[in-house]
Amino acid sequence: MIKTFTKNKGFTLLEMLLYMLIASGILFAITSFALQIMEVSKKSSDMQEIQTNIDYISSKLSSTIQIADSIDNGNSIFENDIGKLSLNIPDEGESPTVFYLEDEAVYLKEGVGAALKINSDFVKCTQLKFVKVTTAKSPDQVVFDMQCEPINSDLAALKQELSIHTTISLRR
């Protein structure tokens, strides 16, 4: 009697476990990397939101100050982190135009109209400071400092905030 042995062409249990261990390690690494990318993307998006808000508020302040006839000193609050700037505008319907900080939001009030919040709901502004600079031979200038940070708790924990410091002259 002749016995013929044939070689089995399958995997052993040990080989199967080893392959599964290697594959699960690779999948774990890929998943971890993807989650980190998504987290960085979210933080970047939040910082872009803050920058966009600062740019918009700064632009609105700049254009309004430049067209103003004068600064209403009596209704403005200078050199305070929760400042208020009241401007006399040539258009009677928009005068006075007031910028102020309240409840960590920047508001714009034109004339007798209702005040409008001009920063987004995802950003809180913690400082809006105005300083009036007057010199003998030039129009009044307003220096403003503004500081904003995200409402998102992840970025707030990282102490991410953006600030701006700008000087604008009245053109009249």
- Any domain includes 6: no
The confidence score (pLDDT) of residue 164 equals 85
- Any domain includes 24: no
In sequence order, what are the residues at sequence separation of 6 or more whose Cβ sits closer than 8 angstroms to the Cβ of residue 78?
Answer: 130, 131, 132
Percentage of residues in the chain having pLDDT higher than 90: 42
- pTM as predicted: 0.75
User: Which of these, 156, 142, 165, 168, lies nearest to 50 by C-alpha position?
Assistant: 156
Q: Which of these ranges, 16-25, 75-84, 135-144, has the smallest mean pLDDT?
A: 135-144
Is the pLDDT assigned to residue 11 strictly greater than 80? no
| Average per-residue pLDDT for the chain | 87
- Any domain includes 73: yes
Is the pLDDT assigned to residue 16 strictly greater than 70? yes
- Any domain includes 78: yes
Reported residue count of the chain is: 172
Q: What range does the domain containing 127 cover?
A: 44-169
Contact predicate 97/64, CB 8 Å: yes
Query: C-alpha dihedral over 167, 43, 119, 164, to 10 degrees?
Result: -10
**Which residues are registered as beta bridge partners of 164?**
146
Helices (H), 88-165: 153-157
- Any domain includes 34: no
Q: How many domains does the chain have?
A: 1
